[in-house]
Amino acid sequence: MSDKENSKKKITTDYSDCAGKIKRQKSEKSVRDPALREPKSVVEKGYRGTLCLPKTGFSMKANLVQREPLLRKQWAKENIYAQIRKARKGAPLYILHDGPPYANGDIHMGHVINKVLKDLVVKYKTMAGFDAPYVPGWDCHGLPIEAKVVTELGEKVRQMSKLDVRKDCFKYASRYVKLQSKQFQELGIFGDFENPYLTFKPSYEAGILEVFAELVDKGLVYKQLKPIHWSIGCETALAEAELEYKDISSPSIYVNFPVAQESIGRLVELGLVEQSQAENAKVCFMIWTTTPWTLAANLAIAVHPRQDYKAISYDFRASIPDARCSRESRIVSIVATERVEAVVKAAGLKEGQYDISEKLARGSELEGLRYEHPFVENNPTDKDAFMVIPTEYVTIEDGTGLVHTAPGHGLEDYLSGQKYDLAVYSPVMDDGRYDDTVPDWLRGQNVLEVDTVINNYLRQEGLLFAEGEIVHSYPHCWRSKGPVIFRATEQWFISIDKELPPTASLRKQGVVGKSLRDLALQSVKNVRWIPAWGQKRIAGMLESRPDWCISRQRSWGLPLPVFINAEGQTLMTKESVLAVAKHIAEHGSDSWFTDSAREILGEDFELPEGFVLDELQKEENIFDVWFESGCSWYSVCVKEAGWSVPVDLYLEGSDQHRGWFQLSLLPGLGATGEAPFKSVLTHGFTVDEKGMKQSKSLGNYVNAQEEVAKYGSDILRLWVSSVNYQEDVRCNDEIIGRTQDAYRKIRNTLRYLLGNTNDFDPNVNSIAYDEMFEIDKWAMQQLQKLIAGVTEAYENFVFHRVFSLLYNFCTVEMSSIYMDVLKDRMYCDAADSLSRRSAQTAMHRILDCLIRMLAPILVHTMEEAFKVQKSEVRSQKSVESVHIAEMPKVDDSIDFRSAESRWQKLMGLRDEVLRVLEGLRQEKKIASNQQACVTICCDDEDAGVLNEFGLEQFAALCIVSEVKLQKAVGETTVVAEKSSYNKCQRCWNYWPSVGADSDYPDLCKRCVSVVH
């Protein structure tokens, strides 16, 4: 045998994560396929026919791109998913409930990570003996789809009815469901792709309404005029999960609101303003804002009741040189004491240019004082306005300590407006333009474009004290990408803080008198979050979230099941919602737009007083698409499949703490009192090699379809398994391509094992563990250790550890040690000898276990290997596909722990021998390790270990001619020299017995016995 490959063996039992090492190892000499190593001289000498060379149909070249589609075709033909379900019928259920991607566009690398991780879980759980169904789903309604369709339709859309737009949306979504389904299946993902769940299916829609009926019944659903996030671009309300925060620059302005004449006396009384100032200066409340356009809707100024306020007086010409107004030369502005310094600085006032009042007043003392709006002459509302109100949320971290309050355009403003009975005034229309209730010069203007106009006006009036710019994080619409505004509109909400009625199920759980928020915060503690920080993250979001705005002013979605009578009163009860659910289950949600209330509710529906069936109008709003997907646990798991909830696992990207996890939790708790999931696993997002977000415009985008077409799915799957998905995942074509090297090493290991067990029948030729050769026992022990580690890693979803354990086992334990040591025995010993059968027993078992442990990752390659093994080795496999087989279990009769220290010693000595031989080879003193005679100089302890193992065995372990021992004290040393023995022309070993047989003078004793 040529054993030049021995030269750089990496002998290490380090199990640390090796994902990062792949590249480094690539530059080293790669381990060549041992099966290819065939000495030429054997052929020349005519001994070739006497060798047992490896033989297998499992080719070295994978040809994944050609081979994978053929396998998938076979799976489709055999309906592998149905076969798996049949095989696991009656086994304990394990439910991973799929989060629905949008039926929009090709799949991208984020989908690849998400779906492959899910498939790893499902395939592992299946092989671990569970009945683990996977029902893929798609989010088919909603703005992302409607926006695309409307864009595609262009001007035509203006002439189309709502129903016709919906028909186009349906076609669009169906098209992408089909496309993405195909692309997911190309990744080797198994699931019920014949019957996926689609949120626009009537049965699914009915499920949403059934959940909604429960929430209605518990009094959690209400309609209110309230400020919500509004997308001007998409003309609809947005939920928290539909916002993207971006840093933008906004104007930062300090504005003086003149105090009303009637209130100045009070300020004099408080000592903030002197009598002379009251007569000669303009007295103002100073506010600060970054949204000048909302000033048009100002109805109050908020102060903190326990904060101190002072007055700054200054000559306004000094601070605002270009102001036209000169009615007063002196201005007195009230600001919070702690903000005086910052406010003065903002206007660039120098010492001597201003005075500060000695006296101060409490915010509570300013309550009820009146002011004149800077540009709105008359109160536009039918309620009181333009006064100072004390509220707790006023902070003195920025601004002036006096807060401009517009109840129609901010949530806190709205709440304090409720408290002081202010109108919810929003003079902004759906398209973002002011309505006619604002001053002439603002009417019809887009609110996002008027900041400069308003600032100019205030400057000219002499009311703009200071202006600047501020960069801050501001919400933007996820679809139109434009900045969103806060705007009061009539919307439907789910109350997060209302106390839930004491239902039987809540009483059973001991939670009475709690709100949805209380229940949610409690339940997230009982869910297993992977990684663990997910709990804190979602809890933080739940603590601060507002009521859920569930209505949308669009076409493509499930209509809100609300009827309105002639007086504008609404009808929405559990019974009416369930009646709508029943109708939609039969006729689909389009029927809401075509059928009458009589047809929908039915003739016999009992209406409350004041409602007449034929006079009922239907609500035009549709559901927030998040409410639809948030009911999937019910529509899919409970209603359709009959599984019990909570299900075992939800697995999505880490942005879903705000999205699907939270918005499934809330309807789940509202309807049943229980969270819909037991565990939640999250993964990071793909970024480029520098950690930057990937996008087509940046040019660092990785096209998933191109990667599959170039490398094959198994390479992508191997790559997904190798990364730490809990962090952001760096990915580009080069990183994915590098995985091919790891793949080749794994494939070659399997090929060697398949090739060398070709003539092995486990039922006939197996050797009992106790009778095995020592090194074969070692291999069996390493296998048990591997199974234990891999099982634990799979159980904990640590797939990159599964990968590194299996990869290291293939490259180190197998390729660098075991397969190398075995070559002589496998090729040269007699075919049916104990030595060969012992090795084959171990190899057969290792191969079988490796194939199964790798099957969830390399779904195509392991199926191929499994089928080759089934056909070539008489292994009597009972199942047709590796994906129906079960995961290997640790063989408890094999003790891999107690022998560990002895093996560590032996492998350490072997390392030392190989190191010395390497030097000898470099000096050209020997051509191969087989030519070397080794003397180990050691103390009694090491000698004892070696003698117990057997020197001949140790020589075989090091693949040398002979090993001798020499007694020494101190450190163990190794001396090697060229062997004086002759070379056997069949096995290339330099053994003492070469030439002993006169019939075969060029062979060793072993080879003579085999050839003879």
Positions that interact with Zn ion (CB under 5 A): 984, 986-987, 1004, 1007
Taking each helix axis from N to C terminus, what angle separates 713-722 and 704-711, rounded to the nearest 10 degrees? 110
If the CB atoms of residues 531 and 992 are measured against Zn ion, the closer one turns out to be 992
Q: Which residues pair with 529 in a beta bridge?
A: 680
Residues 6+ apart with CB under 8 A from 531: 682, 726
Task: Give the nearest distance from C-beta 683 to Zn ion in angstroms.
Answer: 55
- Degrees (nearest 5) of the Cα angle 978, 984, 986? 140
If the CB atoms of residues 841 and 930 are measured against Zn ion, the closer one turns out to be 930
Task: Give the nearest distance from C-beta 981 to Zn ion in angstroms.
Answer: 11
If the CB atoms of residues 554 and 983 are measured against Zn ion, the closer one turns out to be 983
Residues 6+ apart with CB under 8 A from 483: 248, 448, 474, 475, 476, 477
If the CB atoms of residues 58 and 827 are measured against Zn ion, the closer one turns out to be 827
The contacts found for 540-547 with CB under 8 angstroms, 24 or more apart, are 541/657, 541/658, 541/662, 542/517, 542/662, 543/517, 545/240, 545/496, 545/517, 545/662, 546/240, 546/411, 546/496, 547/493, 547/494, 547/495, 547/496, 547/497
Task: Give the nearest distance from C-beta 827 to Zn ion in angstroms.
Answer: 10
Task: Give the nearest distance from C-beta 1012 to Zn ion in angstroms.
Answer: 12
Q: What is the Cα–Cα distance from 939 to 871, expressed in whole angstroms?
A: 51
If the CB atoms of residues 517 and 836 are measured against Zn ion, the closer one turns out to be 836
608: its two tokens:
């409350």
Tell me: cis bond preceding 646? Omega within 30 of 0 counts. Answer: yes
Residue with tokens 């009926």: 213
16: its two tokens:
């640390």
- 8 Å CB contact between 372 and 280: no
Residues 6+ apart with CB under 8 A from 610: 565, 567, 569
If the CB atoms of residues 42 and 597 are measured against Zn ion, the closer one turns out to be 42
245: its two tokens:
């925060």
If the CB atoms of residues 48 and 362 are measured against Zn ion, the closer one turns out to be 48
128: its two tokens:
């671990």
Residues 6+ apart with CB under 8 A from 401: 303, 304, 307, 309, 335, 336, 337, 338, 339, 363, 394
- Of 191, 184, 177, nearest to 95 by C-alpha is 191
If the CB atoms of residues 2 and 679 are measured against Zn ion, the closer one turns out to be 2
Residues 6+ apart with CB under 8 A from 454: 292, 293, 295, 296, 375, 442
Beta strands in 478-571 (DSSP E): 485-494, 528-530, 548-549, 551-552, 563-564, 570-571
Task: Give the nearest distance from C-beta 986 to Zn ion in angstroms.
Answer: 5
Task: Give the nearest distance from C-beta 819 to Zn ion in angstroms.
Answer: 20
If the CB atoms of residues 585 and 987 are measured against Zn ion, the closer one turns out to be 987
Task: Give the nearest distance from C-beta 838 to Zn ion in angstroms.
Answer: 19
DSSP per position, 211-233: HHHHHHHTT-EEEEEEEEEEETT
Task: Give the nearest distance from C-beta 914 to Zn ion in angstroms.
Answer: 22
Q: What is the Cα–Cα distance from 353 to 217, expressed in whole angstroms?
A: 65
If the CB atoms of residues 165 and 987 are measured against Zn ion, the closer one turns out to be 987
CA 527 to chain centroid, in Å, comes to 17
- 8 Å CB contact between 447 and 487: no
738: its two tokens:
């590098």
If the CB atoms of residues 339 and 986 are measured against Zn ion, the closer one turns out to be 986
713: its two tokens:
């799915």
Q: What is the Cα–Cα distance from 500 to 218, expressed in whole angstroms?
A: 6
If the CB atoms of residues 457 and 981 are measured against Zn ion, the closer one turns out to be 981
Query: Amino acid identity of 966?
Result: Q
If the CB atoms of residues 220 and 1010 are measured against Zn ion, the closer one turns out to be 1010
Task: Give the nearest distance from C-beta 994 to Zn ion in angstroms.
Answer: 7
If the CB atoms of residues 122 and 987 are measured against Zn ion, the closer one turns out to be 987
